[in-house]
Amino acid sequence: MTEDEPSPPDESPADSDDTNTPRTLSISSFYDALEAVGRPVITASELAREADWSHAEADGALDNLVGSGELQRIDVETDPVVWFPTDWGELADRERVIPFPRRREIVVDKPTQFTRAQLSQFAHLVDVSGAEAYRYEIRKEDIWQAPYESFDRLLRTIRQVLPERQPELEEWIKDQWNRARQFRLRTHEDGYTVLEAVSAELMGNVARQELDESQLRAPISDTESWVAEGSEASIKRRLYEAGYPVQDNRELETGDPLDISLDLDLRGYQRDWVSRFVDSGSGVLVGPPGSGKTVAAMGIMEAVGGETLILVPTRELASQWRDELLARTDLTAEQIGQYHGGAKEIRPITIATYRTAGMDRHRSLFDSRRWGLIVYDEVHHVPSDVYRRTGELQSRHRLGLSATPIREDEREQDIYTLVGPPIGTDWDELFDAGYVQEPKVEIRYVPWDEETYQDEYATAESHEKRQLAAANPLKTDEIRSILGEHGNAKALIFADYIDQGDALAEALSIPFISGEMRHARREKLFSQFRQGERDTLIVSRVGDEGIDLPDADLAILSSGLGGSRRQGSQRAGRTMRPAGKSRVYVLATRGTTEEDFAQRQLQHLRSKGIRVQEVDSERVNLE
């Protein structure tokens, strides 16, 4: 029996059913039992439960395999003994990939960067045990959104990762791949939109059951329906929720023509992004910080050649886009307008905030303009209730940009439904090519200053506990030590709480930039940092997104926003530039929720192949 032909749940994995003779267990049946319990080691109690044996019978069968050399056993604190295959023990310092096809999970011990990067293409990182064991889940939406042009290319990636063929798992993946290709939107020769299904059964039992007359006007044939104008977004959302992603093959509007020329040469992978976008008409550029997504977006603007609406979350980003367009293209200042609370200009290139563009009183202006392209910067904002209406602009080419298209509310699937499929490059390829610096990331666990804080923490409420853990005075000493270790490195220290930032600024004699600081003072400090007149700044949450934060060699996250994966990646991304060395330290107070928060903050980076080291601070007392 093999992993491909597991024992049925109601059968014992033993080779003999005679309860009067000693139980025997084959190594293949042992692997079946491992899959059933869902972890790479097993106890005698777990085997007994799975096989419906006594504990003594299970213990004896496992010991027999130890005697034959096929298993090893080890005593651990949480259970008297666990068993695992001998070859795992012999290969303790090498990567081990253990698939659990029935559960659609993959556990990888000591994964290489290549394996993590490949898994990120079709699986979701669930958690990391310690620093070495990564557990991935393959969800249906991961297959629906896998960035491949054909199932064969996806299958090739899967087989590069898994140690042996998994027919049952591969069949399920193929079913999900095909499921995402049962419906498509296309443009009829008379100009209106048609929803097409691969069969009359799907059109009748799914589409016409799930959608109402405000979305489908009338049937055209058994497999085709006339789509009500402007209902494309709601149709895609509804069928996605029903388990059927819709392929969008419409002829999108090109808008009023606008000639744009880019004043620089694109890198090879950026040219590939542009080509893939032009072929599909919509998509989300997903790449690490520093990979040049904004420049690639300008290349797409040049290729589309139509008037463009750029949506951003803040006014600061609107101003940055204007400056970048003027610096990197032949556009003039008269061709670029900003539309937000501080300005109301509609130009061939208009940069607007999501909030303003979604307001009813402004929406008609955006709907009436013949845009050829809509650019959604920081596209992870689109699923939020405030910004979601901007996704209704479905008739144009739609381009999303984000290093971290993830959301803590798990609504990232709306990004690909409303904007388009992911278009990206494996992070490790960019690391290897030297385009982006792979950061050296470390979680450093800091002990309590017991005399001052331990008693106070124990009696505090939940929000107070988070603040107390963030403000642990030993973190100040740890930051001072890290800065000393890295000499003259340009460093950004992130602090989420104003009181903590003020305390760090006073203790370390370093300026603290927060939303309370006047804009002119903030820009002066950033300018000094860029020009090398200052080598260290402390920055609040205001630096996570929406301001032109300078790049650094060193990032120290002294506190974080409840384990936000996007925040962790954004802050680490401030160091991920081609030149210099990239180092990231995340400080977490031992015995608090910060331990879990630190792990979660770095989960997205781990899923992209970046190794995270965990160490304990050696500090026990304030100096």
In 10 A of CB 342, how many CB atoms?
Answer: 10
Q: Residue 561 — left, alpha, or beta (φ > 0 → left; ψ -120 to 50 → alpha)?
A: beta
Higher pLDDT, 225 or 230: 225
| pLDDT value of residue 57 | 85
Q: Would you say residue 197 lies in a domain?
A: yes
Q: Would you say residue 39 lies in a domain?
A: no
Residue at which a domain ends, from 427, 449, 484:
427
Alpha helices, DSSP H only, in 180-335?
Answer: 200-202, 208-210, 232-241, 268-280, 293-304, 315-328
Higher pLDDT, 384 or 515: 515
| pLDDT value of residue 295 | 93
Instruction: Report the C-alpha gap between 122 and 118 in whole angstroms.
Output: 8
Residue at which a domain ends, from 178, 199, 226:
178
Flag whether pLDDT at 487 surpasses 70.
yes
Encode pLDDT of 320-364 as tens digits: 899 999 999 999 999 999 988 777 888 999 998 888 776 666 666
Q: Would you say residue 263 lies in a domain?
A: no
Flag whether pLDDT at 221 surpasses 90.
yes
Encode pLDDT of 128-159 as tens digits: 775 578 889 999 988 988 878 899 999 999 99
Same domain, 159 and 197: no
Q: How far is CA 321 from CA 329, 397, 560, in A?
A: 12, 19, 27
Which of 116, 98, 106, 31 shows the shortest CA–CA distance to 65?
31
Residue at which a domain ends, from 427, 461, 495:
427
Same domain, 221 and 330: no
Instruction: Report the C-alpha gap between 309 and 375 in whole angstroms.
Output: 6
Q: Would you say residue 515 lies in a domain?
A: yes
Q: Would you say residue 158 lies in a domain?
A: yes
| pLDDT value of residue 70 | 81
| For range 357-374, the mean pLDDT | 73
Same domain, 417 and 361: yes
| pLDDT value of residue 19 | 44
| pLDDT value of residue 620 | 46
Q: Which residues are CB-neighbours of 395 under 8 A, at least 6 positions away?
A: 232, 250, 252, 253
Question: In the structure encoding, which two tokens stand for residue 61, read together?
Answer: 């069968």
Higher pLDDT, 428 or 622: 428
Q: Would you say residue 49 lies in a domain?
A: no
Sheet of 216-221, strand order: 216-221, 224-227, 193-197, 183-187, 246-249
**Residues 356, 388 contacting (CB under 8 angstroms):** no
| pLDDT value of residue 544 | 56
Range in 82-91, 382-391, 494-503, 611-620 the model is least confident about: 382-391
Encode pLDDT of 111-126 as tens digits: 877 788 788 889 988 8
Instruction: Report the C-alpha gap between 505 and 497 in whole angstroms.
Output: 12
Same domain, 222 and 287: no
In 10 A of CB 44, how many CB atoms?
Answer: 24
**Residues 164, 100 contacting (CB under 8 angstroms):** no
Range in 20-34, 361-375, 388-402 the model is least confident about: 388-402
Sheet of 336-340, strand order: 343-344, 336-340, 349-353, 308-312, 373-377, 397-402, 282-286, 422-424
Same domain, 450 and 580: yes
Q: Would you say residue 54 lies in a domain?
A: no
Q: Residue 584 — left, alpha, or beta (φ > 0 → left; ψ -120 to 50 → alpha)?
A: beta
Same domain, 369 and 408: yes
Flag whether pLDDT at 409 surpasses 60.
no
| pLDDT value of residue 360 | 64
Confidence of residue 266 (pLDDT cuts 50, 70, 90): very high
Same domain, 299 and 412: yes
| pLDDT value of residue 573 | 63
| For range 504-511, the mean pLDDT | 93
Q: Would you say residue 383 lies in a domain?
A: yes
Confidence of residue 404 (pLDDT cuts 50, 70, 90): low
Same domain, 161 and 190: no
Flag whether pLDDT at 14 surpasses 60.
no
Strand 133-137 to 124-129 pairing:
antiparallel
Give the total number of structural domains in the chain.
4
Same domain, 569 and 551: yes
| pLDDT value of residue 46 | 74
| For range 588-601, the mean pLDDT | 82
Encode pLDDT of 293-313 as tens digits: 999 999 999 999 999 999 988
Instruction: Report the C-alpha gap between 241 and 582 in whole angstroms.
Output: 41
| pLDDT value of residue 623 | 39
Flag whether pLDDT at 161 surpasses 70.
yes
In the chain, % of residues over pLDDT 70 = 79
Same domain, 171 and 213: no
> To 5 degrees, how large is the angle CA 541–CA 543–CA 548?
165
Q: How far is CA 18 from CA 12, 14, 21, 33, in A?
A: 11, 10, 6, 19
Average confidence score pLDDT of the chain: 80
Flag whether pLDDT at 58 surpasses 70.
yes
In the block, residue with structure tokens 């079913």? 175
Instruction: Report the C-alpha gap between 307 and 370 in whole angstroms.
Output: 7
| pLDDT value of residue 6 | 38
| pLDDT value of residue 450 | 67
Q: How far is CA 314 from CA 328, 342, 502, in A?
A: 21, 11, 25
Confidence of residue 242 (pLDDT cuts 50, 70, 90): very high
For residue 32, which phi and psi values (nearest 5 degrees)? -60, -40
**Residues 138, 105 contacting (CB under 8 angstroms):** yes
Q: How far is CA 64 from CA 126, 389, 599, in A?
A: 35, 64, 39
| pLDDT value of residue 76 | 47
Encode pLDDT of 529-579 as tens digits: 888 899 999 988 765 555 556 678 888 988 766 545 666 566 666 666 666
Same domain, 167 and 194: no
Q: Which domain holds residue 295?
A: 268-427
Q: What is the pTM of this model?
A: 0.69
Which amino acid is present at 540?
S
Same domain, 169 and 198: no
> To 5 degrees, how large is the angle CA 554–CA 409–CA 550?
25
